[in-house]
Amino acid sequence: MKTYNTDVTIIGGGAAGLAAAIEVNKGGKEVLILERGIELGGILMQCIHNGFGIKEFNKELTGPEYAQKFINEVNQLNIPYKLDTIVIEITLDKKIYAVNKIEGLIEINSKTIILAMGCRERTRGAINVPGFRPAGIFTAGQAQRFVNIEGYLPGKNIVILGSGDIGMIMARRLTWEGCNVKAVVEIQPYVSGLLRNEIQCLEDYGIPLITNYSLTKIHGKNRVKGVTISKVDRNFDRIIGSDQFIECDTLLLSVGLIPENELTRIAGAEISSMGGPIVDNNLETTLEGVFACGNVLQVHDLVDLVTAESKRAGRNAIEYINKRYKKKLKGIEKIHLSAGHNINYVKPDNICLGEILGEIIINFRVKNPDRRIQINIKDETNKTLYKKKKSYVIPSEMIELKINLNNMELNPKCNGLIVEVIPQLEPLIE
Amino acid sequence: MSSSEIYDIIIIGGGVIGCSIARALCKYELKICLLEKEADIAMGTTKANSGVVHAGYAAERKFTKRNLCIRGNKLYSEAVKELNFPFKRMGSFVVAFKVEEIKLLEEIRKRGIEDGILDLELILEKQRIKRMEPNISDDIIGVLHAPSAGIVSPYEMTFALAQNAAMNSVKFFRSQEVIKIDHSDYIFTITTQRNEFKSLNVINCAGLYSAKISKMLGLDYFDITPRKGEYVLFDRNTIQLNKILFPTPTKISKGILVCPTFHGNAFAGPNAQNITDIEDTSTTTAGLKEVLEGAKKIVPNLPLRASIRNFAGLRAVPSTYDFIIDNTDIYGFINVAGILSPGLTSSYAIAEKVIDFLELLGVELKVKEDYNPYRPKPERFTDFSKKELDKKIKEDSSWGRIICRCETISEKEILNAIQGPIGATTIDGVKFRCRAGMGRCQSGFCRPRVMEILSREMKLPYQAITKKGDDTNILIAKTKDLLLKEIIKKEIQK
Ligand SMILES: Cc1cc2nc3c(=O)[nH]c(=O)nc-3n(C[C@H](O)[C@H](O)[C@H](O)COP(=O)(O)OP(=O)(O)OC[C@H]3O[C@@H](n4cnc5c(N)ncnc54)[C@H](O)[C@@H]3O)c2cc1C
Ligand SMILES: Cc1cc2nc3c(=O)[nH]c(=O)nc-3n(C[C@H](O)[C@H](O)[C@H](O)COP(=O)(O)OP(=O)(O)OC[C@H]3O[C@@H](n4cnc5c(N)ncnc54)[C@H](O)[C@@H]3O)c2cc1C
């Protein structure tokens, strides 16, 4: 068995892994990227639409263009990576086991690990869509792969369940291919993806968006023959008599993404209820020296934020090696950050005190859309330590706050902070 | 196939029943073939059921299925040694919430012991029950424990049976739907949509279609009606069940159970819905709700958010409510029909019974000298130690490429599924043989790769790869094909 030693091992060579690797290399540490695909770039390689890089490069790139910038840099810096190499296990003492066809089983010993495994799509089974189980049912990302990478069409007459970004992008992509996208069906009263995709991918092509409807039956034993959709009430229960049949040969599902954390679980890190690992403000998981960034931590809608987050993970890994490796800092006090009113999840889960803090970044998503709101951070005594106004919030947009704990009047005995989104108390002055 | 070839025995139907009969008969010097209408064997009721190897106390004494089930359960111990399929005797609980139910369970226990299920035990100490199965509801007051009950992967067992039969020279013909049977001069001529087969004896194991097959020869002494059972399957490692959990049975059904699978998933189901369409394996909103509500009564902490698939199977319910296994009025034609639950458990005992019938028919049963009862266990990436793995990859590099990430299935396992005896020709065929695509992402990631391997191995274009045979192609055209077609159409119109 071949053994490697390095400072930092990065699992996953997508946007997150690439940015983290470059940062680690620039900080003078050794790094190795392990990627199970046959090329670097991750999910970006099948996202041939534009809309990437507005924050990072100030221009609109396609997914592969965005990825290539990082791949080029990885090559220029001679950062080692292994392709077609899948990590199968991370042990408690941070040994990584991976396999590939050429080397067989490999063992990697490293001082730190950065998890950057991305996410996977929710499936029909996860949302329990009833009906037959014929050919012609795809997750939107899988269909995207078939069209953009393999060069094949999944079908001709198409219904898309769920208005996630990938679904809307595929609605447009398939329309360009001469397919007939009959409808995008969404159970919520609003679109679950970004507004710009609703306009540019659906409205501009006259693709009907049917909200407050769910799929109640898939027809066809061999190939999809159609779907029945039904209007739902506030509890998402089907309203009797509202059934509608749509003839189609293909059904795409765009019903959400789930961080891919099987390895994280094997390694023994704690996972939060939203699927990503529990991390502190250094992006360190509950396993010492194991960091997480990108979609494996939280599902991002903008790659630019993935890049920024992953650079932070890279820097923190270096920091960890320089300062803390081998002389464990014991008993760091942590305060817990939790989700309050209208908050779906918040990252990080914990904030470490007693370190030079400065600015920390908080990400969260709301549960429901709202207008004229106020974001509050409160302590356990209900004292508001931070507030910010915003004209609207929607679940599809991950919100990022930069806060400075040094500027806050933090009670020394404070154990927890709560983030909430509530209607504005005072009139909006902008 | 020359139509002059005359088989001693033709088996119609490649479900667990047809395959266990084929396997039982393959040790004799007989010329046997099996005809299956689907693109693969084990794709009927055999692939969508609870996979419980019942202890055998459930059916009423008047039914033959009771004795066949009790005997069938015992025969699993021998079979699993020879055929190496996934099977585990983990024991079952029938749970009681009310005093009347305890009384019923005690009766069931007594009768079971009289009939040879000696280890049945009524447990009333709640603490002990909870220790044995911590997930069970706090509201239960007692359970009937049947240690000999087990779980089996029904399709993997069926592939094992068929492969062993094929190793012993039984021929398997798939995509051969029997549409007509003639009988004259003691020879049966069976017509499929593609070929004609001749045989001295015919065994009808066509499951839901067994009445239809029987009627082809004018034998219409029974009918089969489908009864649907729906299931919800949960991700691996989201709940660890030690026991198969049944509610106390009613007159109509064994009820909705909560059960582990051999591979570490859990499932809830089935309900029981009488339907008319023999093809209707669709799941329904109401059915799935019924299943989950029923299951939650027994296991309140069922991981509802971790469901990965729902499916339905159809019980072939005969008008007699009992297995129909008999030598018919037509000499040489044996019906093995209406094999509803516990058909899977009974399969080995049913095969024994069929052998008795063949003896009565005067078929000469001489054991082959080179009969090999063993089917080797399929090698699995996840079964290897680290050292073995490294060695395996060096011997054959396709062990080193993981295709299905959720179940950790390597390219080699997929190649074995395709190249082995009665190999897979479809995506479902690969999935049911080696589990690629069965995990939480439900083939979202591995499907393009599996298609690529199938296309390479079968020398078929990528686009020709199907989910489960005719009319189930995954892809319809190359990109730009639809656009080109439109352009050409417009040009022609001009
Ligand atoms: C379809 C789609 C459309 C999008 N559109 C836009 C857009 O228009 N604009 C925008 O800014 N952002 C967009 N995004 C968001 C952004 O592109 C992604 O969030 C970002 O690329 C995710 O990067 P990642 O590295 O976290 O994940 P990934 O790109 O998924 O990378 C993870 C990598 O890890 C590898 N891996 C996983 N497990 C293992 C293992 N065990 N061993 C080895 N390797 C492993 C995977 O093969 C993969 O390459 C889109 C995202 C998707 C999915
Ligand atoms: C919901 C449910 C739960 C169950 N749970 C259990 C359980 O826990 N334990 C247990 O012991 N049993 C259980 N059973 C019963 C068990 O599944 C069946 O008894 C068993 O699978 C029957 O196998 P079979 O081979 O008779 O039928 P099938 O698997 O249906 O096989 C019949 C085959 O014949 C083929 N065929 C049909 N017509 C033709 C034709 N014209 N030409 C060629 N081929 C043809 C079909 O395609 C099919 O492959 C359950 C059944 C159901 C539905």
What DSSP string describes B411-463? HHHHHHHHHSTT---SHHHHHHHH-TT-STTTTTTTHHHHHHHHHHHHT--GG
In CATH terms, the fold of domain B1-86+151-222+319-377 is FAD/NAD(P)-binding domain (3.50.50)
Q: Give the Å distance between the CA of B77 and the centre of ligand 2.
A: 22
> CA torsion A311→A313→A314→A319, rounded to 10°?
130
Please give the C-alpha separations between residue B381 and each of A303, B82, B411, B437, in angstroms, as whole numbers: 35, 22, 10, 15
The partner residues of A403 in beta bridges, in order of sequence, read A360
Q: How far apart are CA B278 and CA B162, in angstroms?
A: 25
Mean pLDDT of A75-81: 98
- A423 preceded by cis ω (within 30°)? no
User: Residue for token digits 């470059």?
Assistant: A22
Is any ligand 1 atom within 6 A of the Cβ of residue A11?
A: yes
- Supply the pLDDT for residue A89: 96
Residue-wise pLDDT for A291-341, tens only, equals 999 999 999 989 999 999 999 999 999 999 998 654 444 445 788 999 999
The partner residues of B150 in beta bridges, in order of sequence, read B53
Q: How far apart are CA B43 and CA B169, in angstroms?
A: 22
Chain pair A-B, CB pairs under 8 angstroms: 146
- What DSSP line would sit under A205-218, residue for residue? GT--EEESEEEEEE
Interchain contact, A221 vs B279, CB within 8 Å: yes
Whose CA is closest to A164, among A136, A143, A133, A134? Answer: A143
Residue-wise pLDDT for A244-294, tens only, equals 999 999 999 999 999 999 999 999 999 998 889 999 999 999 999 999 999
Q: How far apart are CA A263 and CA B410, in angstroms?
A: 17
Q: How far apart are CA B322 and CA B324, in angstroms?
A: 6
Q: How far apart are CA B357 and CA B334, in angstroms?
A: 8
- Supply the pLDDT for residue A330: 47
Helix (H, G, I), strand (E, B) or coil at B285: helix
Whose CA is closest to A281, among A308, A306, A316, A307? Answer: A316
Q: How far apart are CA B308 and CA A122, in angstroms?
A: 9
Q: Whose CA is nearest to atom 41 of ligand 2?
A: B178
- Supply the pLDDT for residue A275: 83
- A348 preceded by cis ω (within 30°)? yes
- Supply the pLDDT for residue B1: 47
List the structure tokens of B396: 């054959």
The pTM of the full predicted model, rounded to 2 decimals, is 0.95
Residues 6+ apart with CB under 8 A from A316: A282, A283, A284, A291
Contact by Cβ (8 Å): B257, B289: no
Residue B367 is classified by DSSP as: B
Considering only the C-alpha atoms of chain A, give the largest distance between any 2 of them, rounded to a whole number of Å: 67
Helix (H, G, I), strand (E, B) or coil at B71: helix
> CA torsion A354→A358→A364→A370, rounded to 10°?
130
- CATH code of the domain occupying A2-120+258-328: 3.50.50.60
Helix (H) or strand (E) holding B25: helix B16-25
Q: Do domains A123-255 and A338-423 have the same CATH topology?
A: no
Q: Which of A213-217, A233-237, B270-274, B421-425 has the lowest mean pLDDT?
A: A233-237
Interchain contact, A142 vs B444, CB within 8 Å: yes
Give the minimum alpha-carbon distance from B405 to chain A in angstroms, rounded to a whole number: 9
Residue ranges of alpha helices (H) inside A303-406 are: 303-319
Answer whether B265 touches A (CB < 8 Å): no
Contact by Cβ (8 Å): A369, A395: yes
> For residue B452, what is the nearest residue in chain A, using CA coordinates?
A150
Contact by Cβ (8 Å): A147, A177: yes
Contact by Cβ (8 Å): B23, B350: no
- Supply the pLDDT for residue A53: 95
Q: How far apart are CA A54 and CA A310, in angstroms?
A: 17
Contact residues, chain B, for A263 at CB < 8 Å: none
Report mean pLDDT in 10-residue bins for chain B, 494 residues.
80 98 98 98 97 95 96 98 98 96 96 96 97 97 98 98 98 98 95 96 98 97 96 93 93 86 96 95 95 96 92 96 96 97 98 97 96 97 96 97 95 97 97 95 93 97 96 96 91 88
Q: So what's the ipTM on this one?
A: 0.93
List the structure tokens of A358: 């400065």
Contact residues, chain B, for A216 at CB < 8 Å: 285
List the structure tokens of B218: 């004018």
b/e code B204-238 from CB counts within 10 Å (16+ = b) = bbbbbbbbbbbebbebeebebbbbbbbbbbbbbeb
Is any ligand 1 atom within 6 A of the Cβ of residue A303?
A: yes
Phi, psi dihedrals of residue B95, rounded to the nearest 5° = -100, 145
Q: Which CATH architecture has domain A338-423?
A: Sandwich (2.60)
Interchain contact, A101 vs B285, CB within 8 Å: no
- CATH code of the domain occupying B92-147+225-317: 3.30.9.10
Q: Which CATH architecture has domain B381-464?
A: Orthogonal Bundle (1.10)
Domain spans in chain B, listed from the N-terminal domain onward: 1-86+151-222+319-377, 92-147+225-317, 381-464
Helix (H) or strand (E) holding B210: helix B210-216
Q: Catalytic residue at B54?
A: yes
Domain A123-255 bears CATH identifier 3.40.1160.10:
no
Domain spans in chain A, listed from the N-terminal domain onward: 2-120+258-328, 123-255, 338-423
Whose CA is closest to B436, among B470, B400, B457, B412? Answer: B412
Residue B46 is classified by DSSP as: G
List the structure tokens of A370: 């709202």
Q: How far apart are CA B107 and CA A237, in angstroms?
A: 42
Give the minimum alpha-carbon distance from A118 to chain B in angstroms, rounded to a whole number: 13
